[in-house]
Amino acid sequence: MQALRAFLKNNKGATAIEYGLIAALIAVAAIATMTTLGSNLNKTFSNVASNIDKAG
């Protein structure tokens, strides 16, 4: 019975899962931000290249 109580009191596994979920959330946010930023940069460089072609 004491072993069961000690097992239920142990929060180390729950803490590790929480940290894992936080890391996953940060990774998803970073990927979304980088994807949007990359898309915007691609449009900007395409616009610059187009204007250089028109000028040249």
Per DSSP, helices labelled H in 1-56 are 2-9, 12-55
pLDDT in tens, 6-54: 766 777 777 888 999 999 999 999 999 999 999 999 999 999 999 999 9
- Amino acid identity of residue 46, one-letter, is S
- pLDDT value of residue 32: 96
Cα 21 from chain centroid? Answer: 11
Q: Three-state SS for 10?
A: coil
- pLDDT value of residue 28: 98
- pLDDT value of residue 29: 97
Q: Is the pTM of this model over 0.85?
A: no
